[in-house]
Amino acid sequence: MVPKITSRVIPEADIRERHAQWMDQYGRKYKDDAEKQSRLVIFKSNVEYIDFINNAGKKQYKLSVNQFADMTNEEFKKTYMAYRSLNSAKSPSTTAFRYENFTDIPPSIDWRKKGAVTPIRDETCGAWTFPAVDTVEGITKIKGGKLYDLSVQEIVDCNTGIEQGCDGGGFISDAFEFIKSNGITTEKNYPPRDVKGTCDKKKEAEPVTKITGYQKVPANNEDALMKAVANQPVAVRVDASGSDFQFYSTGVFTGKCGDTLDHGVTVVGYGMEKGKLKYWIIKNSWGPSWGEDGYMRLQRDIADKEGLCGITIEVYYPVI
pLDDT tens readout for residues 269-278: 999 998 889 9
Query: Where among 18, 35, 57 does a domain terminate?
Result: 57
Q: Which pLDDT band holds residue 266 (cuts at 50, 70, 90)?
A: very high
Specify whether 234 is located in the same domain as 85. yes
* pLDDT beyond 70 at 151: yes
Higher pLDDT residue, 116 or 8? 116
The Cα 56–Cα 58 span in angstroms is 7
pLDDT at 162: 59
29 and 106 both lie in a single domain: no
Q: Which of 18, 39, 57 is the last residue of a domain?
A: 57
What range does the domain containing 43 cover? 1-57
Instruction: Give the helix ranges, DSSP H, for 210-279.
Output: 222-229, 243-246
In three-state secondary structure terms, 110 is: strand
d(CA 101, CA 109): 19
Buried b (16+ CB within 10 A) or exposed e, 264-281: bbbbbbbbeeeeebbbbb
Q: Are 109 and 130 within one domain? A: yes
Count of CB atoms situated within 10 Å of the CB of 68: 21
- Asked if residue 179 and residue 307 are part of one domain, the reply reads yes
Instruction: Based on the fold, state whether residues 207 and 300 are members of the same structural domain.
Output: yes
Phi, psi torsion values for 101, nearest 5 degrees: -105, 15
Do 45 and 90 lie in one domain? The reply is no
190 and 259 co-located in one domain: yes
Asked if 190 and 287 sit in the same domain, the reply is yes
| Confidence label for 6 from pLDDT (cuts 50, 70 and 90) | very low
Residues 25 and 117 grouped into a single domain: no
Check whether residue 210 and residue 258 sit in a common domain: yes
DSSP 8-state code for residue 284: -
Residue-wise pLDDT tens digits, 232-246: 999 999 999 999 999
Rounded to an integer, what distance in angstroms lies between the CA atom of residue 313 and that of residue 131? 15
CB distance 234 to 135 below 8 Å: yes
Check: CB of residue 190 under 8 Å from CB of residue 197: no
**Same domain? 119 vs 248:** yes
pLDDT of the residue at 265: 96
Q: What pLDDT sits at residue 163?
A: 56
Q: Contact 69/247 with Cβ under 8 angstroms?
A: yes
Q: Kind and range of the H or E element at 53?
A: helix 33-54
Over range 84-101, report the average pLDDT: 74
Considering the entire predicted model, what is its pTM? 0.93
The CATH number assigned to the domain holding 169 equals: 3.90.70.10
Say how many domains are in the chain.
Answer: 2
Same domain, 163 and 117: yes
Average per-residue pLDDT for the chain: 91
